């Protein structure tokens, strides 16, 4: 009975991140340029608070998604294509890599004060995560569909 729980956690965490990343990409990150224009110190304080509070929301979801993805690879649910599980794992790797190699360094620069170049890089490179999480959401939906439509033995 572990498999349905892992599939549920996987789909829920992934789709929560899909919604969150689209909000961040379309609304939140672009609005950074409007936060206390011309006041670098005020923006630095805002950015530090932003990263702390965002971490409380994002970290549990990212870890749940990561562990559920690993769990699915280990469990290999019946009826689910193995390549689909590995494709999902690849999107998770892209998101973690992009987060730590691209977005975190830009947030560090912005924590010193608003920097238009760092802001533009943050917004532009975040499209990598937006596409990867959206793809992972579609993969999670396909996993649910395949698993729920698998042939079962009648008792």
Confidence (pLDDT) at 40: 75
The tens digit of pLDDT for each residue in 42-67 reads: 899 999 999 999 999 999 999 999 99
Q: State how far the Cα of 65 lies from the Cα of 71, in Å rounded to an integer.
A: 10
Both structure tokens of 142: 């396909």
The tens digit of pLDDT for each residue in 20-39 reads: 999 999 999 999 999 877 78
Instruction: Give helix then strand counts, H and E, for the chain.
Output: 6, 0
User: How many beta carbons lie within 10 A of that of residue 30, not counting itself?
Assistant: 13
Q: Looking at the chain, which runs of residues are DSSP E strands?
A: none
| In contact, 146 and 81? CB cutoff 8 Å | yes
| In contact, 114 and 123? CB cutoff 8 Å | no
Confidence (pLDDT) at 35: 87
The tens digit of pLDDT for each residue in 111-133 reads: 999 999 999 999 999 999 999 99
Confidence (pTM): 0.93
Both structure tokens of 52: 């702390």
Both structure tokens of 48: 């530090």
Confidence (pLDDT) at 153: 63
The tens digit of pLDDT for each residue in 3-21 reads: 999 999 999 999 999 999 9
Confidence (pLDDT) at 151: 86
Identify which of 86, 126, 88 has the alpha carbon closest to the alpha carbon of residue 106. 126
Confidence (pLDDT) at 80: 96
The tens digit of pLDDT for each residue in 72-105 reads: 999 999 999 999 999 999 999 999 999 999 999 9
Going from the C-alpha of 14 to that of each of 2, 22, 64, 68, 99, the distances in angstroms are 18, 12, 9, 10, 15
């Amino acid at each position: 009975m572990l498999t349905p729980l892992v599939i549920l956690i996987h789909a829920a965490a992934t789709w929560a991140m899909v919604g969150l990343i689209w909000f961040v990409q379309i609304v939140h990150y672009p609005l950074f340029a409007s936060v206390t224009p011309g006041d670098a110190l005020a923006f630095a304080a805002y950015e530090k608070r932003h990263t702390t509070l965002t971490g409380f929301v994002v970290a549990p979801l990212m870890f749940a998604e990561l562990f559920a993805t690993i769990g699915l690879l280990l469990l290999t649910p019946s009826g689910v294509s193995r390549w689909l599980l590995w494709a999902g794992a690849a999107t998770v790797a892209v998101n973690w890599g992009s987060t730590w190699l691209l977005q975190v360094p830009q947030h560090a620069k912005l924590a010193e004060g608003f920097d238009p170049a760092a802001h533009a890089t943050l917004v532009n490179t975040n499209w990598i995560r937006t596409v990867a999480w959206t793809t992972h959401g579609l993969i999670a939906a396909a996993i649910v569909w395949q698993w729920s439509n698998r042939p079962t033995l009648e008792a």
